[in-house]
């Protein structure tokens, strides 16, 4: 096998582990870009000949020739680290050339999110005289109430939601399952949708919760298109996307007093450090918390 074939085998291995389609797509782009770089710079090179100097050369090429950011380069290096670790385990290499390499530092972007006022406007947009509006409101309310990923929402089934306990069972990244409480408004919107879900049914529907106009399960592109039509009406700035709803859920939960670890659990983050990006609570929120809770800030008699 050549290097490209080994890379594709590694991707098959990751898929078998349950890695998300987004992760697989980005890793495939990164690894094949590395293969293309080697083919461009070296006439022939074996996998055993790849060392840290060659990888550093690749990182320099990304930065100087392609103007990649440190964030992008860090992600590509992470993909290479995983690949070479796999190669050593499977005895394709005797040592991992990335073992002591550190990812370049970069500032974490503060995620965009909607204000509570903007969310009220967004949730008022679906036309409830249309079955599509009823479905779309249920989708928006559920995203805002639970912080789901798009890939998690499209595979929800009719049995995913416990309406008595107001809990949703989510199948997330890494083949992990988690339980998330769902708010009253979202529950009501979903129940309203279920009352007309029969008008969407086709032989392709199965027990999938949210259906397209053809009665098939919604795919990622369809759902993004549905959400984008509303997001563009509210978000005047560039950069708003369906993922903004997930950021909005986490930000509003945190600013209203939710524990960071609880938010981590609901979002399905493996590491707390990933969730800590939401600690950009505004100074107003912090001031309000201090004034309300700190014993030296309370008024006399309270």
Structure tokens at 259: 């524990």
> Which amino acids are annotated catalytic?
149, 173, 243, 246, 269, 278
List, in sequence order, every beta strand (DSSP E) within 95-185.
Answer: 161-162, 167-171, 177-181
Which residues, listed in sequence order, are joined to residue 211 by a DSSP beta bridge?
A: 217
98-134 burial, b at 16+ Cβ within 10 Å, e below that, comes to beebebeeeeeeebbbbeeebbeebbeebeeeebeeb
Q: Return the pLDDT at 54.
A: 94
Q: Do domains 3-89 and 116-288 have the same CATH topology?
A: no
pLDDT band at 202, cuts 50/70/90?
A: very high
CATH of 3-89, one of 1.10.150.130, 3.40.50.2000, 1.10.1240.10, 2.60.120.10: 1.10.150.130
List, in sequence order, every beta strand (DSSP E) within the chain.
Answer: 161-162, 167-171, 177-181
Q: Return the pLDDT at 175.
A: 74
Sign of CA dihedral 290, 295, 296, 298: positive
Residue for token pair 């070479």: 84
pLDDT band at 9, cuts 50/70/90?
A: very high
pLDDT band at 103, cuts 50/70/90?
A: confident
Q: What is the pLDDT of residues 277-296, one digit of tens each?
A: 666 544 445 555 556 655 65
Q: How far apart are CA 263 and CA 242, in angstroms?
A: 19
Q: What is the pLDDT of residues 221-274, one digit of tens each?
A: 999 999 988 988 886 655 677 888 888 888 888 777 777 788 888 887 777 666
Mean pLDDT taken over the chain:
86
Q: What is the pLDDT of residues 38-49, one digit of tens each?
A: 998 887 888 999
Q: Return the pLDDT at 298.
A: 54
Residues 6 or more apart in contact with residue 75 via CB below 8 angstroms: 26, 30
Task: Please indicate whether residue 101 or residue 284 has the higher confidence score (pLDDT).
Answer: 101
Q: Give pTM, 2 decimals.
A: 0.63
Domain range annotation of the chain: 3-89, 116-288
CATH number of 116-288: 1.10.443.10
Task: Please indicate whether residue 292 or residue 113 has the higher confidence score (pLDDT).
Answer: 113
């Amino acid at each position: 096998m050549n290097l490209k074939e080994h890379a594709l085998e590694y991707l098959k291995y990751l898929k078998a582990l349950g890695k998300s389609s987004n992760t697989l797509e980005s890793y495939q782009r990164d690894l094949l870009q590395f293969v293309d770089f080697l083919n461009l710079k070296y006439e022939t090179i074996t996998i055993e000949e790849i060392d840290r100097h060659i990888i550093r050369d690749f990182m320099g090429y990304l930065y100087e020739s392609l103007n990649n950011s440190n964030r992008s380069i860090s992600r590509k290096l992470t993909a290479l680290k995983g690949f070479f670790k796999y190669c050593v385990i499977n005895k394709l290499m005797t040592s991992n050339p990335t073992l002591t390499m550190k990812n370049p530092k970069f500032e974490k972007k503060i995620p965009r999110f909607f204000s509570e006022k903007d969310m009220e406007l967004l949730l008022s947009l679906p036309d409830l005289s249309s079955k599509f509006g009823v479905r779309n409101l249920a989708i928006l309310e559920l995203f805002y109430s639970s912080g789901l990923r798009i890939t998690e929402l499209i595979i929800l089934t009719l049995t995913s939601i416990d309406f008595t306990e107001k809990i949703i069972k989510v199948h997330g990244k890494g083949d992990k399952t988690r339980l998330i409480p769902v708010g009253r408004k979202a529950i009501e919107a979903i129940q309203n949708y279920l009352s007309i879900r029969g008008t969407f049914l086709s032989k392709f529907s199965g027990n999938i919760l949210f259906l397209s106009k053809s009665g098939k399960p919604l795919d990622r592109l369809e759902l993004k298109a549905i959400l984008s039509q509303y997001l563009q009406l509210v978000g005047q700035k560039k950069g708003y996307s369906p993922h903004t709803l997930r950021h909005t859920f986490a930000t509003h939960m945190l600013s209203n007093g939710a524990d960071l670890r609880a938010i981590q659990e609901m979002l399905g983050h493996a590491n707390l450090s990933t969730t800590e990006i939401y600690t950009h609570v505004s100074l107003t929120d912090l001031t309000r918390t201090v004034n309300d809770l700190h014993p030296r800030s309370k008024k006399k008699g309270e």
